[in-house]
Amino acid sequence: MLNRKPAIEFGVIGLGRFGFALASTLAEAGKEVLVLDSTESKIKQIRHLTENAFVVGELTKEALEEAGIQNCGTVIVCIGEKIDVSILTTLNVISMGVPRVIAKAISREQGNVLEKIGAEVIYPEHDMAIRLANRLISSRIMDNIVLNDDITITELLLTSKISGKTVMQADLRKRFKLNIIALEHNQKTTTEITPDLLLNKDDIIVVVGKKNDIKRLETYLS
C-alpha cells in the first residue's frame, strides 16, 4: 500500500514568539501551514500568511481533530511554558498518527517526558544560547548547528591564510577532514563547490565535520 501524502505539510500549535516566527518563516517559504492558538489576536496577525489559521480555545483531542491537525505531515507543538498542556497536546497529536511530531521544551525534565511519549524535542533558548556563545568566543565562527555530540555544521569567515587559493589548493578535506558544503561571496551563496572554485578573504564558507577539526581550521585562520 502506498503511503498517504499529508494534506498539509506543517502544523504549528501555539503562537508565542517562537511559534509565530516558525509559522511565519514556513509560510513565507511557500509551505502550507496549519496554525492553531487560543488567542484570536495572534491568529489575526498570521492570517495574511496562511488561510489555515484557527482559534482553538482548549487543545482537546476533539478540538485538534476538528481543526484538522491529523492531516499534517509534521506538527510542531510550541507550548513550552505550560508544561501540562504541552505534554497532553503532544500526546494527543501523536495518538492521531501524525508522522512527525516535534515539541518545544524549556527544561530537560519536560524534554525527557516528551521524548518518552514519542516526540522529537527542541530546546530553542538553550540552542540559541550555545550558538551565540560560539559566535562571541570566536571571531571567525559566524554560526554553527550541532548535528550530534561530535559533528557540527559551521560558518567560518575566511582570512588571507586561504585567500587566492582554489578549493583544491586549500584541500580542507585532506588537511582538516572537513567538507565545504556552501560558500558566500559578495552576499551571493553557492552550493556548487567545484575544485577550481576560488576562495577569497572575507568569504564565508560552510563546513561540516568534527568539532575538533573545525577548531583546528579556526586556529589556522586566526
Tell me how far apart the terminal alpha carbons of the chain are, to the nearest angstrom: 56
Angle at 58 between CA 21 and CA 101, to 5 degrees: 50
Check residue 122 and give its pLDDT. Answer: 87
Instruction: Describe the strand order of the beta sheet including 188-190 as a list of residue ranges.
Output: 141-146, 151-157, 204-210, 179-185, 188-190
Q: What is the pLDDT of residue 197?
A: 94
- Whole-number Å distance between alpha carbons of 92 and 111: 16
Q: Which CATH class is domain 128-221?
A: alpha beta
By the 10 Å C-beta count (0-12 exposed, 13-18 middle, 19+ buried), 86 is classed as: buried
Set of cell numbers at residue 74: 509534521
Identify the segments of the chain with pLDDT beneath 50.
1-4
8-122 is classed CATH 2.40.160.60: no
Question: Which tens digits make up the pLDDT trace of 51-74?
Answer: 999 999 889 999 999 999 999 999
Confidence (pTM): 0.63
| pLDDT on residue 143 | 60
pLDDT at 2: 35
Contacts of 165 (CB under 8 A, 6+ apart): 198, 199
pLDDT at 192: 87
pLDDT digits (tens, 9 = 90+) for 17-62: 889 989 998 988 888 999 999 999 999 999 999 999 999 988 999 9
Distances (CA, A) of 12 to 29, 81, 94, 172, 217: 15, 16, 14, 40, 39
Cβ pair 64, 70 in contact under 8 A: yes
pLDDT at position 4, please? 47
Q: What is the pLDDT of residue 133?
A: 61
In angstroms, rounded to a whole number, what is the distance separating the alpha carbons of residues 45 and 24? 10
Going by their DSSP bridges, the two strands 33-37 and 53-55 should be labelled as: parallel
- What does the domain layout of the chain look like in residue ranges? 8-122, 128-221
How far, in whole angstroms, is CA 43 from its chain's centroid? 23
Give the single-character DSSP code of 46: H
For residue 125, what pLDDT is reported? 73
